[in-house]
A and B are shown apart, each in its own frame.
Chain A
Amino acid sequence: MMLRVENIAKSFGRKAVLNGVSFHLAEGSMSGIVGENGSGKSTLLKIVVGAMKADSGRVAVAGCLGYCPQEAQLFSQLTVLEHFQYFAAAYSRLAGGKGNHKWEITRNQLLEHFQFGQYGRHLVAHLSGGTRQKLNLCLALFHRPQILVLDEPYNGFDWETYLRFWEYARQFQAEGGAILVVTHLITDKHRFGHIYNLKNGMLQ
C-alpha cells in the first residue's frame, strides 16, 4: 500500500469538516475525490500531504509524495526556469543531492510534454492562467514522486493540455505510481479506479 489514510477528523471551530475519513491507494492505482464546494476536499488533501494537522487519525505514506495545490502557488516575479531551479534546490534535500544534469533532463521533459518550453524565460506575472497552472502542476511532478496528490490539477487547461495531462497520468500509473485527484468533472469518472464522494465529512 502506498498511501493509507485512517479515521481522519478535522474541525474548524464548531464546524466538523472531516469526520472519520479512511481510504488507501495501492501501487499503480488512480482514485478521484468529488464533492460539493466546501465539502472538505482540499482540507483532506492538505492533511494527506502534511500541510495541515488533523484533529485525529493517521496518514501513512510509503514513498515520495508530489502535491499540486488548487491555487497556483508561484512567485510572480520569477521566470518559469527560475522556478524549476528554486524547487530543485528544495527537492535536492529530499532526493539526497541529485545532480544538476538530472534535474535539467526532468525539467526539459516536463516542459516538452506540457508544451510550454517557449515560456521558460517569461515571468509568472506575465503568463496566462493556464500556463501558470501547467507550471504549478509540473513543480509537483519535478522530483519524480511515487505518489501524486493533485487538487483540481487541470483547471484552466486547454483541451490539448488536458489530454496530455491524462496521458502523463496513465504513464505514471503504468510505472507503478499512485494518483489521488480532486476533481469537479464527473465526465472524468471512467478514468479512475475508485471515485470517492466526500459528503457530510465522510467518504461514500
Chain B
Amino acid sequence: MTVGRIGVSVSMMLRMMFRRRIIPILLLVIPTVFLLAVYATTSERMMPFRLASVDEAVFLEASERNISLLFLAVASVGFLSSFLALNLIQRESAVDRRLVLCGFHPVALLLSKLAVLAGCTALIALYVGLSLLAFFTPERLFLMILGLFLAGLAYGSYGLLVGSLIRGELEGVLLIVLLANIDAGWLQNPLFYAEAENQFIIRCLPAYFPSQAAIAAAFSDHPIGTSVLASGLYALAFLAIAGTLYFIKMRRK
C-alpha cells in the first residue's frame, strides 16, 4: 500500500513540475545555451591536462573546445538538478505538512521526492550527454553520461539540503548558484585544476568526483570506479542530512 501511495505522490509531483512551464523550459534551454556558447568561444587547440583522480601523474590530451564542452555539461546538469531539488522540497511545503497531518508518512513523501529527482536527473544527464555527440565523440559514452548523472545526483542532494535548511526561495537559489558556480562552473575545470594551488580544497567539493568520472570516461580508458563510489557517498551524505531535516520539519509541532 505504501508503494501505491508513493506512486500517487510521484505522479502528482511530476504533474506539478511540468505544469510550471519555466522548469521544462530551463531544462532544455540552459544546456543548449551553455554548450553553444562554449562552442562559439573556444578553439580546437590541443591541451594536455592531468587526470587528477588517478594516482600516478596521468596526462591526457584533448581539444580546448571538447574539454570545455564536457566541463560545462557537468556544470549545467549539476545546476539544473539542484534547482529542481530546491523546487521539490521547498515549494508548498505547508501543503506537504497538511498531507502528513492527514496521514501521509513523511518518509513516503521524501522517497517520492527522491524518486522524482533521480528520474529527472537521469533524463537531464541523458539529454545533455547525447547533445555532446553533436560536438565530439567521447571514448565511453555511457560512462560519461553516468558521470553527468552523478554530478546531478550530488548537486540534487545539495539542493535538497539547502531547501530543508532555508525557507526563502531567493536565498535558496542564491546558495545553490554560488556553490555551483564556484565549484562546478570554475574550480573543477581540468585546465584550471592542473595549475591550482591547494588542490585538496577542490577535491573536497561536491562536483570533483563526478567531474573526474565524466572526464576520464570521455577522454581515456582509465577506470572510474573510485570516482563513481566517492560521488555516490557524497550524494548519500547530503541526502542523509537533508532527509533527517525534512523529517523533523514535517513532524515538528
Contact = CB atoms under 8 A, between A and B. Distances in A.
Interface range on chain A: under 10, 10 to 19, 20 to 34, or 35 or more? 20 to 34
A77 B95 CA distance: 12
A159 B16 CA distance: 33
B253 A50 contact: yes
Best-surrounded residue of B12, B20, B98, B99 (most CB of chain A within 10 A) = B98
A77 B105 CA distance: 22
A53 interface: yes
B4 A89 contact: yes
Contacts of B1: 92-93, 97
Contacts of B95: 73-75
B19 A87 contact: no
Interface in A45-86: 49-53, 67, 69, 73-78, 82, 85-86
Chain B facing A: main interface SS: helix
A137 B97 CA distance: 16
A153 to B, nearest CB: 15
Interface string A16-33: 000000000000000000
B92 A76 contact: yes
Contacts of A85: 8, 12
A91 interface: yes
A77 B8 contact: no
Contacts, number: 65
Contact of B8 (A53, A89, A97): A89
Identify which of B1, B9, B12, B102 gathers the most chain A CB atoms within 10 Å of its CB.
Answer: B102
A91 B5 CA distance: 10
B232 to A, nearest CB: 31
Interface residues of B, number: 23
A55 to B, nearest CB: 11
B99 A87 contact: yes
Contacts of A49: 101
A77 B15 CA distance: 8
Interface string B61-101: 00000000000000000000000000000001011011111
A52 B14 CA distance: 30
A124 B15 CA distance: 13
Given A51-B253, A52-B253, A73-B94, A123 B19 contact: yes
A82 B98 CA distance: 15
Contacts of A143: 102
Contact of B104 (A89, A95, A97): A89
B103 interface: yes
Nearest to B104: A90
B5 A93 contact: yes
B120 to A, nearest CB: 16
Contacts of A90: 5, 99-100, 102-104
A105 interface: no
Contact of A91 (B15, B102, B105): B102
Contact of A78 (B16, B94, B98, B103): B16
A52 B253 CA distance: 4
A169 B26 CA distance: 47
A98 to B, nearest CB: 11
A186 interface: no
Contacts of B8: 85-86, 89
A164 B105 CA distance: 33
Interface string B40-79: 0000000000000000000000000000000000000000
Contacts of A50: 101, 253
A69 B9 CA distance: 22
A94 interface: yes
Nearest to B102: A90
Nearest to B109: A90
Interface string B98-121: 111111110000000000000000
Interface of A: 49-53, 67, 69, 73-78, 82, 85-87, 89-95, 97, 123, 139, 143
11 contacts: A49-B101, A51-B101, A51-B253, A67-B101, A73-B98, A75-B12, A78-B15, A78-B16, A90-B102, A90-B103, A93-B103
